[in-house]
Structure formats: structure tokens, C-alpha cells
Chains A and B, each alone.
Chain A
């Protein structure tokens, strides 16, 4: 990575020589491709006087006075881009070439040049085309983040939490905070855990005593009875305790994750729409399901294992060294290899698993393509080819599977062998000590070896711990990210509830943008009278939908104010505001549940009569009663198959039940055929009677009832007036109408 704030010394010193005392670099950018098209370095500086390009050694490779620049353009190509310049005489020049990694910096240069040229007498250039910078990609909507804003590293595609930037300690401490309400249960299960682990140390000790008695006659015959009995007691106790412990720990984990899941979902519902704009739906859903289950896995199983392993390793380690430190030292010999081997293996096996997963996915995609598309396959007689395709994917899978099996069949015996080495060393050294009548008895030796096994296991498991912790930490962090988001649209403390609403809407100098590069609404002024119907029209992207979203206060304007009956929206409780606004969207969204439940969604306490009346007004009653289960019919995948028009009428009934004072229709009839449109039009007329209405429509004919039409163009109001007035004016609207009549003619043919 090139750090543009730190040009190399040669470049800096050269720059100091070139620039006049009054001159300074306004913008800096670094490219990573040189003039010959190889990877290299070029430094670009824009001052108030000139555009300057230096190579890594500080030699000037391009220089041009700002005064003579007509336009600067960033051109994006495959795998690279170019900054080009056109001078006042129309000559084209390549300034510098760069990979896409650096595009952003050069867009910045071009953008900066716009303001610089304007300030620098850009008007003299004659035509208004000062510097221009083309921003590639989608114009509206959120930009997907591919790099971590903090460290600049690439982000995995399924997250925007940077795995490298997480402060793991902090995350785990916070996770621990969730244990607090259950601290008693936690303490209980922790002490049980310690007890179970320590109990597991007893049987080898008892066995040692037994062997010592049998070989050396130490102790009394009673031992022959008491030891088996004690063993029995220990085993029973430890089994019972371990059962209780497993349940207690799992209970704790489940409780905590239950709390987290509920909290996350509540937060998701509270957050403003802008939060959803920046994230994909699937990703958000996975936070509630996948991430919380990853955290759960760690809380329920991972943390238990971790505690057990640590206790076991430490206590057994201490016992080993207390028993005989030289033997213990010998038995530690394989440990470094054990740790290293496990870490390397984990990496490798992770690779093979990934490979298997990828080949699986490839095979699945063949299935997902051909089984639902079987009609197409057969129609084009491609059965044999599809079979071949599947076979080759299947072969890939077989190879990947075998590869992973091979690795595992190498590793596990290998690791086992390593541990046997440790045991053999101990037998060899220990045998000598026992035989020479040293400080070790045969029982001690057996104990030592048993402990050794108990020591190697945890060591091996703990060396894989970091991976597990990382999975859990990332998942937890993604959850915390939601919990840490603040709703951007918030109620003020002294926000009021609306009473009766007349429905006067005023927009004063309203500007709004989703991202700073492009204003969606630009200084808009509009006064809507109570009960008036406004038709909003304009090309897509002209800001129609954004405008109605602002009126519902899903977003706050960047500048200016919107008010209803003279009250600024920001002074009104969001709940109260939205209760007064009825919305009918292009794609009616119905929830799982009965027709009646869907109609009463906004007001669950609506009576059956209200529901029926609303359905009647929405022209929906007729078809609903004919459903086998009437108003109790289920809507959705498993329920009644409703047509688009039927769903739309239910959603209109839903709006009617809510008794709104202001109605917003966003392309409410654009996805249905003409006959259905008439039914819906009638329903809509019942809905909007006497209420302030804002209707968006592409089909201009649906706006003929509007009192006034507002035509938007690039975030500004281009024209306002009645249908006739605007036709007479022969402006944007007249043009749109003409275009649509032409299309209608073509359709008629």
C-alpha cells in the first residue's frame, strides 16, 4: 500500500524545489503504474497553479498549468484507469495511469480540480464544462464497502466488520457482561467444572496405590476392597456432577444467547431505514441466526471445554513436576512438536475443507440450475451435456474428499505416535529409576503415564483455540455492531403527538442525499393544501420516492424543513406521524397470517366490522368472501394464492383501516393489468376522498384526477400545474405525455 500522505524523500525534496513559496499541493495522489504500463510509482500533485506528476526519483514526468486546463477526467477501464486532460485548445493528454486500487484518489483529484478551476476563473474557459469526474457504478443506493475504513484491509464478502481490527479482549469482556444476571448459576457451574476436573485426577491415584500394594505389599489387604469401592464412588460422583455441569453450562449459554437474540431483533426494529439501506437483507438476517449461533456454540461448548482444558493442563502439569521433575521434563519433549503439528494441520485441514465446500457448491449449482430448469434442458436436448457437467463436478468432489481424508489419515496416527514417543520415553527413563530402586515406585510410573495422556489432550485442543476464539469474536462483534448503532432519525424529548390532522404539508428549502456525491433532492419548495391530491411524476432517479420517504420521516432532510399543519416533522413523535400517514406501495407486502390480520396490521384492535368495511371500500370484500376460509384465509406461501391485484387491494384496505389523514401512493397500480387497475383505482378513490394525497405514477393516465401535478427533474421541481396547464406549457410533462401516447400506440399495434 502506498501512503499518499508520505511521498518518498526524493519526491518531497524535488517538490519543495519546484513549488513557489506561495504554492502548495492542494491534493496529492499516487499511482502504481508507470508510463510504460508496468507497476511503478507516480506522484500527482494539484496546486492552484499547476498539475504536476513526479516519478519515484523525483523527476517531472508531466506538468501543466491549471489556467490552460479545460477538463480533467478520470476514465475507468478494465483493471486500470487513467487521468486524462483536455486543454483549452482541445488537445487530449494522458496525465497518469493507475490501477483500480488507486482510482478513489484520482477521482478526488478530478473533483478537487472542479472547484479549483471554478475559483480560478474557470468561467474564462468559455463552455461550462470545467473538470469532470465520472463516478462509475450504481448511481443511487448504498455503495458496498470492500475495505475496512479503519485499517484499509480487504473485508470478507459476508461482513463489514474487519476481522483484523477487532479488539478481542474487549469483545469477550463485553460478552462476559451478559453473564452477570446469571452470576449465581455461572459460579455454580464453574465450581462444578473444577470439581469434575479434579475428580478425574483421583482414579489414576487410586490405581497407583493398588499397584503399589500388589507389587510391594505396601498398605493392608483392606486396600483391595476400599480402592475398588472408592473408584466406584469417584466414578459415580464425577458422572453425576458432570451431567449436572453440562446442563448448567448449557442452560447458562442458552439463556445468554436468548437475551442477545431478543435484544438484536428489538434493535433491528428500532433502527432507521438508513441502517437498512447500507446493508443487505440476507446479511442482517444472518446476524440474528448465524452469528448468534456461533456465539452460542462458543458460550455453551467452547468455553466449557476451554475451562476444563486449562484446569486439567495446569493441575496435571503441576502434579507431574511435583512427582518427578526430570521425568516430567522428558515428557514435555514432544509438546512443541505437538503444538506446531496441530496448528499446521488445522490450517491445512481448513484448506481442504474449504476446497470440499467449494466443490460442493459447484456441484450444487449444477443441480440448482438443471433440476428447476429441466424443461429448458429437455427442450434444447442437452441432457447428455448436463450429465457430463455433473460428472466432472462429481469427480472434483471425489478428489477433494480423498485429499482431505488422506490428510486426516496421516495426521491422527502421526499425532498419536508422537504421544506414544512421550510415553515410551517415560517408560524407558522411569523403568530405570524404578528398577534402580530410586524415588519412583511402579505405581508412580503408571500414574505418571496416565497423567501424561491427560496432559497431551488439552495441550492439543488448546493449540487450536485461537481459531475458535476468532470465529466467536467476529460473530460477537457483528452482533455488537448492531447494538451500537444509533437510530439516525430520533424523537426529540419534547416531541408531540398529533391530534386531528388537516393535512397541510409544507416543504421549505429541502435538500437530501444518500451519499455526499449526489444530491437526490435539491432545495425543494412545495406547499400542499389540505385535501389536495398531488401527482408526482418524473424520470426514475428524479427523487419522487425519496420525497415521499422524507414526508413519512424515514429520513431527515440534510437541509430545510418539512412540516405538517405547520409543525416541523422533527417535533412530532414518529409513531404518531406514521399513524396519520397511509402508504400503498407498488409491491404490496403482506405478512404471514390471515387476511383479517393483514388488513388490521396497523391497528390490531380494529373490529370485524371495521375490517369488512375497509375491505368493501377497497373493492376487496367480494373476492375475500369467496375464499374457502373467508377473512380467516391464510396469506403467503402456504395460504391462498392471491393475485397481484388482490394483494394490492388488501394493502389498500390495510391503509383504510388505519384512518390516515395523509395518503401516499407509490406506483400503486403499476404492476397490474388495465382491468385490475380500474378496480384498484376505484378502491383508491374511496381511500383518498377528502384527504391529502401524494401519488407517484409512471403511467401518467393514473394521475388525471390529481389537483396539481408536480414534475421532478434531477431532484428539483421542473413544473407545477394541472394537466391542462402543463400541456399548454409544452414542457417536460407534455413531452412525457407524448412519449407515453406513442408507446401506447405501438402497444395497440
Chain B
């Protein structure tokens, strides 16, 4: 059974070649991939570290238990590994025949246009949180549908 890594006994470091290392006691292992086990419902908890063969090196229960420098490195790595812009405003929705939909939005990362293959790729998580997956597998999030402006709200309401 995989044990959780003890936050007091580990250290996450970046070596001089910019590789991420997991140090447990005197042993150092290269961390190739950092994964969230619950990307939607618990982004800061249950973080898996894996080596270059995608084999799990261990799991961290809570990021906040780590020492600040370790935590900072993991947060940087997670930021790279999960690119999910937050939609602030929906500017235009254009549905074409067959359910293919063009959407233009303003996100926290800037303006973006994307295409949906069908409205089935819009998913509710809970009552008002919406996750959208576009044709290429890019993700977008609306944390709270109710908090959108009226126009954006009416545009998204037609789609879900």
C-alpha cells in the first residue's frame, strides 16, 4: 500500500539543471510529473508525484503542510500542468448546424475563441460551477454561473 509522504521528512527541490527532485531522507528522486487527484474538488490536496516512467513516487496529502520552498516549487509545477482559464465574460456564442458551437470569451488569461463539438462537453460540477472542454481538449471554467453578468448568463443558459 502506498503511504502518504510525511511532510516533515521530505523536501522538494530544484537542482542546478532545473529538474525537480524529491528528497526523502538522503535519497533523491527526479520528479517528472505532478498530478492532482481531485483537480476540480480538491486542487491543493492529494498531489501525486511521478517519475519519468510515470510511476508514482508518493503522494502528498495537503500542500499547505509542506515547507514554503517545497510548496512553492510544487505550486509552480501544478500551474504548468493545469491550464484552465477562468471565463469572466462570454462575448459571443454562435451555433452552427450539428451542435458545433463557436464561443468567444474573456478569461483571466486574456481573450480567447474556441469551438465545441457539441454542448455535451459542457459539464456542471455542483449547481453553478461549469467546466467546458473544447474540441482540442482545452479546459475552461466558470466558477459560478450566477456571478456572471446578465448577458453572459443568458448566453450560457442557452447551452446547458
Question: What residues make up the interface of A, taking CB atoms closer than 8 Å to B?
Answer: 33, 37-40, 77-80, 82, 89-93, 97, 99-101, 103, 146-147, 153-157, 159, 163-164, 351, 354-355, 358, 467, 470, 474
Interface check B4, CB cutoff 8 A? no
B110 contacts A38, C-beta separation under 8 Å = yes
A163 contacts B135, C-beta separation under 8 Å = no
The answer to whether residues A33 and B135 also contact, given A91-B18, A156-B99, A156-B117 and a CB cut-off of 8 A, is no
B83 contacts A156, C-beta separation under 8 Å = no
A101 contacts B100, C-beta separation under 8 Å = no
**In angstroms, how far is the closest chain A Cβ from the Cβ of B42?**
15
**In angstroms, how far is the closest chain B Cβ from the Cβ of A161?**
9
Residues of the B chain whose Cβ atoms lie less than 8 Å from the Cβ of A146 = 117, 135-136
Residues of the A chain whose Cβ atoms lie less than 8 Å from the Cβ of B82 = 77-79
The answer to whether residues A99 and B96 also contact, given A37-B109, A156-B117, A358-B119 and a CB cut-off of 8 A, is no
Minimum CB distance partner of A471 in chain B? B97
Residues of the A chain whose Cβ atoms lie less than 8 Å from the Cβ of B80 = 77, 80, 82, 97
B138 contacts A101, C-beta separation under 8 Å = yes
B83 contacts A37, C-beta separation under 8 Å = yes
Residues of the B chain whose Cβ atoms lie less than 8 Å from the Cβ of A82 = 80
Residues of the A chain whose Cβ atoms lie less than 8 Å from the Cβ of B111 = 39
The answer to whether residues A100 and B138 also contact, given A153-B115, A159-B98, A358-B119 and a CB cut-off of 8 A, is yes
Pick from A37, A154, A163: contact of B97, CB under 8 Å: A163
Interface residues of B in 61-113 (CB under 8 A from A): 79-85, 95-100, 107, 109-112
The answer to whether residues A91 and B81 also contact, given A147-B135, A163-B100, A474-B98 and a CB cut-off of 8 A, is no
The answer to whether residues A79 and B98 also contact, given A39-B107, A39-B112, A153-B115 and a CB cut-off of 8 A, is no
Can you give 20 contacting A-B residue pairs, CB < 8 Å? A33-B109, A37-B83, A38-B110, A39-B109, A77-B82, A79-B138, A79-B139, A80-B138, A90-B17, A91-B17, A92-B18, A99-B136, A100-B138, A101-B136, A146-B136, A155-B100, A157-B117, A157-B118, A351-B158, A358-B120
Residues of the B chain whose Cβ atoms lie less than 8 Å from the Cβ of A38 = 109-110
Residues of the B chain whose Cβ atoms lie less than 8 Å from the Cβ of A92 = 17-19
Pick from A89, A153, A157, A470: contact of B120, CB under 8 Å: A157
The answer to whether residues A154 and B84 also contact, given A38-B110, A80-B138, A354-B119 and a CB cut-off of 8 A, is no
Residues of the B chain whose Cβ atoms lie less than 8 Å from the Cβ of A164 = 96
Residues of the B chain whose Cβ atoms lie less than 8 Å from the Cβ of A354 = 99, 119
Residues of the B chain whose Cβ atoms lie less than 8 Å from the Cβ of A351 = 95, 158
Residues of the A chain whose Cβ atoms lie less than 8 Å from the Cβ of B25 = none
Interface check B146, CB cutoff 8 A? no
Chain B CB count within 10 A is highest, among A90, A154, A155, A156, for A154
Give Cα A92–Cα B116 distance, bound, in whole angstroms.
35
The answer to whether residues A37 and B79 also contact, given A78-B39, A163-B97, A163-B98 and a CB cut-off of 8 A, is yes
Pick from B95, B97, B120, B158: contact of A474, CB under 8 Å: B97
Minimum CB distance partner of A90 in chain B? B17
**In angstroms, how far is the closest chain A Cβ from the Cβ of B70?**
19
- In the complex, how many residues of chain B place their beta carbon closer than 8 angstroms to a beta carbon of chain A? 37
Chain A CB count within 10 A is highest, among B17, B82, B119, for B17
Give Cα A354–Cα B17 distance, bound, in whole angstroms.
54
The answer to whether residues A100 and B136 also contact, given A33-B83, A92-B18 and a CB cut-off of 8 A, is yes
Other A-B pairs, 4, CB within 8 Å; known A39-B107, A80-B80, A92-B18: A77-B81, A78-B82, A99-B136, A146-B117
Give Cα A449–Cα B94 distance, bound, in whole angstroms.
40
Give Cα A226–Cα B97 distance, bound, in whole angstroms.
54
Give Cα A264–Cα B52 distance, bound, in whole angstroms.
49
Give Cα A38–Cα B109 distance, bound, in whole angstroms.
4
**In angstroms, how far is the closest chain A Cβ from the Cβ of B132?**
11
Minimum CB distance partner of B121 in chain A? A157
B115 contacts A154, C-beta separation under 8 Å = yes
Pick from B17, B83, B97: contact of A79, CB under 8 Å: B83
Residues of the B chain whose Cβ atoms lie less than 8 Å from the Cβ of A100 = 136-138
Residues of the B chain whose Cβ atoms lie less than 8 Å from the Cβ of A155 = 98, 100, 117
Give Cα A470–Cα B111 distance, bound, in whole angstroms.
32
Residues of the B chain whose Cβ atoms lie less than 8 Å from the Cβ of A78 = 39, 81-84, 139
**In angstroms, how far is the closest chain A Cβ from the Cβ of B78?**
10
Residues of the B chain whose Cβ atoms lie less than 8 Å from the Cβ of A79 = 82-85, 137-139
Minimum CB distance partner of B14 in chain A? A92
Interface residues of B in 5-32 (CB under 8 A from A): 17-19
B100 contacts A154, C-beta separation under 8 Å = yes
Give Cα A305–Cα B158 distance, bound, in whole angstroms.
31
Residues of the A chain whose Cβ atoms lie less than 8 Å from the Cβ of B120 = 157, 358
Minimum CB distance partner of B110 in chain A? A39
Minimum CB distance partner of A359 in chain B? B160
Residues of the B chain whose Cβ atoms lie less than 8 Å from the Cβ of A37 = 79, 83, 109
Pick from A89, A103, A156, A467: contact of B100, CB under 8 Å: A156
**In angstroms, how far is the closest chain A Cβ from the Cβ of B114?**
8
B117 contacts A99, C-beta separation under 8 Å = no
Give Cα A358–Cα B98 distance, bound, in whole angstroms.
15
Minimum CB distance partner of B113 in chain A? A1
B148-160 interface code vs A (CB 8 A; 1 in, 0 out):
0000000000101
Residues of the A chain whose Cβ atoms lie less than 8 Å from the Cβ of B114 = 101
Q: Which 6 A-B pairs have the closest CB atoms?
A: A80-B83, A156-B98, A39-B110, A79-B83, A154-B135, A154-B115
